[in-house]
Amino acid sequence: MRFRTVILDGNRLTIEQAVAVARAGARAALSPAAKTRMGRSRDWVEKAVRDRTVVYGVTTGFGAFQNVSIPENQLRDLQRNLILSHCAGVGDPFPDDVVRAMMLLRANALAKGFSGIRVATVQRLLDMLNAGVHPIVPAQGSVGASGDLAPLSHIAAVLIGEGEATYKGRRMPGGRALKAARLTPVVLEAKEGIALNNGTQAMTAVGLLALHDAELLADAADIAASLTLEAVKGKSLPFSPLVHGVRLHPGQALVADHIRGMIRGSRLVDSVDGDTSDKVQDSYSLRCVPQVHGASRDSIAHVRRVLTTEINSATDNPLIFPGEQVAYSAGNFHGQPVALVMDFLGLAVAELGSISERRSAKLTDSHHNCGLPPFLAGRGGVESGLMIAQYTAAALVSENKVLIHPASGDSIPTSANQEDHVSMGTIAARQTGEIVRNVRRVLAVELLCASRGVELRNRKPGNGAERAIATIRKSVSRLDGDRELSPDIERVARLIADGEFAGILR
């Protein structure tokens, strides 16, 4: 589904809409209902300022400075200083798609109407997004409690004419980027700085894009496994509906259905000629594809449910409840829900890569590939074929073993021990994003090996397998002698990222 404009009401944003804004250039706008709710909470804030009501972050300092009362004539300085002092991120910047997702998600959280920010301020944030003013946001520096303070502050800095941004491919000071886009900076009023930089939007932006990509990986993994089954003339019985009807995990049944569809019409699967006549069972990396891939799919589905909830939640502090005429200082900014599922997603995706590498090893090993040449080379010895492609898959899988260490299992106190338990959710999300990129290339290696193996058989594979090989051959020619393999791997990885394989399973 294509989206030209995504309407934000704080309650109904979908993963697909967020990806469309982040990567496909869809625009975003506030709904009338959201503006009305935001106006009510803003009215409450302005009354609190007039009445000198003690409200954390509105008429007081932040963190360990919570008991410092701020004079009314310094409230603008308080909000501006909050943003500038919290711009402490380091390292390489997040890519534009992550930054765009962050801006969108922050606007949607504010649209719920519990943050006390002016409509005009959020509108200017969306103006930046729609104009393509992308703040430079360093990826490191968030511990994931009090939200993603540093990353979100780097976005807010450009909103007030500070920081750095890219505009039309050029990096420049934030104020200049706004001017180039014919936008004016915002002067933050009471409560607005803390409304902009309290929240889980960095970890959630990275996470939802990783989730989207993981769903594409799950489809590619099923396709790759079916091609390998064809190439080694594997057996179809492990994919029978009878088998999966007695173990009631939905992902498992779906994967088995995918494999059956892919191999339908095959003259390779279940072959009993020559070298395969005495094979009773396939190895686990083939026989247990539904169980392994299916478990990852069920895990991915759980992550989708959690992230869909998170992107439609109010995650800043304090929260304004104008109907009750109160402000509550609480902890919705804590990233634990996202942190845990990001570690979970990383593990689920890493398993797709782990089992895929074992299938690539099987394909390239003449002792286990049922009569295919060693390393699928045309002239073994003179040529190395796909030998080193499997090394690459092995290296990436081994790297993932380090990256799956759970970031959410750690905590370190900040703000003079006021913030004494933190989530590390942004680290978990960043690690998972790297795992996804690694597994995409691991699966690309298997698709290259398996398509080569099927073609060497010179016998008709299943109808789905034929479509998958045709998709690969649009970008990568058949291996006719040794050549550089890196471009081939990257091209197939790009096909996966672009969703070119997903339709084959439908």
pLDDT value at 355 more than 90:
yes
- pLDDT of 1: 53
Q: Which residue, 404, 264, 279, is CA-closest to 345?
A: 404
- pLDDT of 280: 78
- Mean pLDDT of the 337-349 span: 98
Quote the mean pLDDT of the chain. Answer: 94
- pLDDT of 276: 45
Give the pair of three-digit tokens for residue 40. 């009510």
- pLDDT of 274: 52
pLDDT value at 400 more than 80:
yes
Band of residue 70 on the pLDDT scale cut at 50, 70, 90: confident
| Better-predicted residue by pLDDT, 47 or 66 | 47
pLDDT digit string, tens, across residues 483-502: 999 999 999 999 999 999 98
Per the annotation, the verdict on 391 as an active-site residue is no
Question: What's the full length of the chain, in residues?
Answer: 506
CA distance 283 to 317: 53
Q: Which domains does the chain have, with CATH numbers?
A: 5-199 (1.10.275.10), 207-317+329-505 (1.20.200.10)
Band of residue 52 on the pLDDT scale cut at 50, 70, 90: confident
pLDDT value at 277 more than 50:
no
pTM higher than 0.75: yes
Q: Choose, from 56, 167, 284, 391, the residue flagged as catalytic.
A: 56
CB atoms within 10 A of CB 80: 18
Q: Which residue, 112, 141, 122, is CA-closest to 316?
A: 112
**CB half-sphere exposure, 75, CA atoms < 13 A:** 21
Cβ within 8 Å of residue 60, ≥6 positions away:
54, 66, 67, 68, 69, 70
- pLDDT of 333: 95
- Mean pLDDT of the 234-257 span: 97
Band of residue 65 on the pLDDT scale cut at 50, 70, 90: confident
pLDDT digit string, tens, across residues 118-177: 999 999 999 999 999 999 999 999 999 888 999 999 999 999 999 999 999 999 999 999
Band of residue 63 on the pLDDT scale cut at 50, 70, 90: low
Band of residue 451 on the pLDDT scale cut at 50, 70, 90: very high
pLDDT value at 283 more than 50:
yes
- Mean pLDDT of the 334-345 span: 97
Band of residue 417 on the pLDDT scale cut at 50, 70, 90: confident
- pLDDT of 278: 58
Give the pair of three-digit tokens for residue 356. 């895929």
Cβ within 8 Å of residue 145, ≥6 positions away:
333, 334, 335, 414, 419, 421, 422, 423
